[in-house]
Amino acid sequence: MKRVILVISSVLAFGFWSEVFAESFGCPKPYSSHNPMSATSFAKTYRGTSTDRAFSVQQTSDGGYTVAGYTNSFGAGSWDIFLIKTDANGNVVWAKTYGGTDWDNAYSVQQTSDGGYIVAGETYSFGAGYYDIFLIKTDANGNVQWAKTYGGTYYDYASSVQQTSDGGYIVAGRTRSFGAGYDDIFLIKTDANGNVQWAKTYGGTYNDEAYSVQQTSDGGYIVAGATASFGAGGDILLIKTDADGNIIWAKTYTYGETSYDIAYSVQQTSDGGYIVAGWTESFGADGNIFLIKTDASGNVQWAKTYGGTGYDRAYSVQQTSDGGYIVAGWTWSFGAGHYDIFLIKTDANGNVVWAKTYGGTDWDYAYSVQQTSDGGYIVAGYTESFGASYDDIFLIKTDADGNIGSCSIVQNVSPTVNTVSPTVTTPSPSVSSVILTVYFESPTVTSPTLTVSELCPLSISELCQITSGLITPYKGGIKVRGSGEFEVKVYNVSG
């Protein structure tokens, strides 16, 4: 990384400064401070000999990444939870599997305040029923600190987990063991050790599912998913609760009475509202990406669709540092192959800043995106176009413009954007408090050796972000005021 160096030539013995200037190689010069940044980009696959898939990625406090999914290549059973820790360049630091003799899958991971990780998914190897919610807490090296299952006699799944402000965890998914209907939304709040503080179901007569949860600034929670019980019978469902899981409001959103609409990702925005991403069947031959911005009460501020004539799906959205949004999913409408990874950057009003696809001649999927500390983006999913003959984990790191150097797997595309006015209803889901049986589990842990393939050479681009600043010399010293990070070097007349 280039650094801004303030080179100050002085004659200290005479008590005055003869020259002050800013030298920033590749950046504009004198009398202003600059903050050069380097953005690393790469595209890599991680695999064994069979199927390996990723569904969640997060940048870690050391600048690297943690990736969660499942594997059929390694582990103790048919499918095992797969956790990979990489450095900032995508090189594997460690990789571990967790599971039993049957199926164990992970869909969400987050680094915790102690430097470890919380992983949520489902298990058929352990628990009380068919599938149970599976929560694993590890240390910074992926060693299990505790592992617990939560569920009843039927099917219970977790799609999303987040550490809460009290050090505990909020888990969202769906249950067939409890609730009012066939599948109900399932929300579980635990303490830091995974002990249940409360568990509640939300739903109606038919299927109601949650795919994303986030703690909100008031200490409550926002939950996004889909409902067949309310609205037109295939709508996006957004539920806002207080800290104890009691409903403050619930709303459905659809565009087209006969279409199917679903939300996979929600985030509270800087203005206190929410951004929701998923897809709708109302546009395109097979459905388009659906992005909805609401205020704090769930009222629509704007709603837009993005896509072409084929399948276009969004599974992850995040507000970016400039107030806009980054959306990740996959597309049949654009790109080089069948499905390609689809990344869309918008401004604060949902207008497309850029849109790009990443992939080869077969199938490539993205399920998770996050803006990184250098202003770029990290994307996780899996690929059939590259690597082995099966699915391989696919990790893409882009710069702020979605580029990976001059890599040929990237294409610029222009999706059709429609501004729409969704139909909104205010349902009253049935809420039930659940007493859960929780089991302590001891999954088998392995440390496999992965085959890593580099599809795009590591690229490091240098950015100069001009920041305001003032350098004032005075007798005996200097005063530096400004924003951004820079290094000051002071030299005397002898150098």
Residues 6+ apart with CB under 8 A from 13: none
Give the rounded distance of the alpha carbon of 375 from its chain centre.
14
Interval 327-372: pLDDT, tens:
999 999 999 888 999 999 999 999 999 999 999 999 999 999 999 9
Give the CA angle between residues 217, 222, 223 to the nearest 5°: 160
d(CA 384, CA 441): 33
Structure tokens belonging to residue 42? 């790469």
Q: Is the pLDDT of residue 295 over 90?
A: yes
Please give the DSSP secondary-structure letter assigned to residue 14: G
**pLDDT band for position 83 (50/70/90)?**
very high
**pLDDT band for position 460 (50/70/90)?**
confident
Q: What percent of the chain has pLDDT over 70?
A: 84
Interval 28-82: pLDDT, tens:
333 333 344 568 999 999 999 999 999 999 999 999 999 999 999 999 989 999 9
d(CA 120, CA 420): 34
Placement of tokens 């190689």 in the chain: 25
Instruction: Compute the 3-state secondary structure of the chain and give helix, strand, coil in percent, each to the nearest 5.
Output: 0, 60, 40
- How much is the pLDDT for 142? 98
Query: Is 290 in contact with 264 (CB distance < 8 Å)?
Result: no
d(CA 318, CA 212): 12
By CB neighbour count within 10 A (0-12 exposed, 13-18 middle, 19+ buried), where does 362 fall? middle
d(CA 323, CA 338): 32
Interval 412-431: pLDDT, tens:
999 999 999 999 999 999 99
Q: What is the pTM of this model?
A: 0.87
State the sign of the Cα–Cα–Cα–Cα dihedral 366, 456, 362, 98: negative
Structure tokens belonging to residue 3? 């650094």
d(CA 53, CA 68): 8
Residues 6+ apart with CB under 8 A from 444: 75, 76, 80, 97, 98, 99, 100
Interval 223-236: pLDDT, tens:
999 999 999 889 99
Query: Is 171 in contact with 223 (CB distance < 8 Å)?
Result: no
If you write DSSP's letter for every residue of 232-282 in order, what string do you get? TSSEEEEEEE-TTS-EEEEEEEESSTTS-EEEEEEEE-TTS-EEEEEEETT
Interval 160-217: pLDDT, tens:
999 999 999 999 999 999 999 899 999 999 999 999 999 999 999 999 999 999 999 9
Among residues 439, 436, 358, the alpha carbon closest in space to that of 397 is found at: 358
Residues 6+ apart with CB under 8 A from 227: 203, 204, 206, 207, 208, 209, 234, 235, 236, 237, 252, 427
State the sign of the Cα–Cα–Cα–Cα dihedral 357, 360, 361, 363: negative
Tell me phi and psi for residue 335, to 5 degrees: 100, -170
Residues 6+ apart with CB under 8 A from 389: none
Among residues 325, 361, 360, 357, the alpha carbon closest in space to that of 342 is found at: 357
- How much is the pLDDT for 282? 76
Among residues 338, 368, 356, the alpha carbon closest in space to that of 415 is found at: 356
Among residues 404, 279, 293, 398, the alpha carbon closest in space to that of 329 is found at: 279
- How much is the pLDDT for 259? 77
- How much is the pLDDT for 2? 34
Give the containing element (helix H, strand E) for 53.
strand 52-59
Radius of gyration of the chain (CA): 25
Amino acid identity, position 318: Q
Tell me phi and psi for residue 402, to 5 degrees: 80, 10
Query: Is 339 in contact with 368 (CB distance < 8 Å)?
Result: no
- How much is the pLDDT for 477? 58
- How much is the pLDDT for 181? 85
CB atoms within 10 A of CB 254: 24
**Of residues 470 and 400, more confidently modeled:** 400
d(CA 190, CA 185): 17
Query: Is 391 in contact with 375 (CB distance < 8 Å)?
Result: no
**pLDDT band for position 387 (50/70/90)?**
confident
**pLDDT band for position 390 (50/70/90)?**
confident
Query: Is 68 in contact with 60 (CB distance < 8 Å)?
Result: no
